[in-house]
Amino acid sequence: MSTLNDQHYIDKVLQGETNAFAVLVDRYKDMIFTLGLKMVKNREEAEEVAQDTFIKIYNSLTKFKGESKFSTWIYKIAYNTCLDRLKKSKKDDLNISIDEFSSHFIKTMDNALSALEDKERKQAIQNCLNLLPREDNFLLTLFYFEDQNLEEIGKVMNINANNVKVKLFRSRQKLATILKKQLEPEILEYYERER
């Protein structure tokens, strides 16, 4: 990957070298598609969201002022594009009750995860993330897998960092509940085999 930063290619596009936009698309296409897939939960729609996002990025490139990282700016565009798509399709989210959460579940989740092999653990977490409501899945992905901080996530989601912190806490609670439900049978089976 080239060591030239995003601003170099943004400047080239703004100077009329439209081919330079292909470098930005190549850098961020997987990230945009993955985030779109987490929100719309459909491969074809995620591809359309990614295309729409890049069209919006290209058409709005003059509006990028560098006040945040370029990746944060395009996350925001991708997030809003996903929300627009979801409003059109009005799909229902899977709702998990926070009442089902307790600190015991977190301990169970930690024990369960430590018993799984690393690859199985990652796949189990990904499967459980996919069971979360779209916003929770998106939020946890930005924080844990895309290494976005609270401020950056707040810019993407149009909320302040404290609200991000609260939403992140609730999303973790929901994930812990799902992990407990999904992993408990596997852990019981694991301990039976070990005896």
pLDDT at residue 109, as a whole number: 56
Of the candidates 34, 144, 24, 149, the one whose C-alpha atom is nearest the C-alpha of residue 82 is 34
Residue 80: Cβ within 10 Å count: 15
Residue with the bigger pLDDT between 9 and 194: it is 9
For the chain, percent of residues with pLDDT exceeding 70: 74
Indicate the class that CATH gives domain 98-194: mainly alpha
pTM for this predicted structure: 0.60
Q: Which residue has the tokens 């509940």?
A: 177
Contact call for residues 179 and 125 (beta carbons, < 8 A): yes
Q: What are the domain boundaries of the chain? A: 6-89, 98-194
Instruction: Tell me the pLDDT of the chain averaged across its residues.
Output: 79
Span 91-111, average pLDDT: 50
DSSP 159: S
Of the candidates 157, 126, 143, 149, the one whose C-alpha atom is nearest the C-alpha of residue 38 is 126
Helices (H), 69-143: 70-89, 103-115, 118-131, 134-140
Indicate the class that CATH gives domain 6-89: mainly alpha
Range scoring the smallest mean pLDDT among 24-33, 43-52, 129-138, 163-172: 129-138
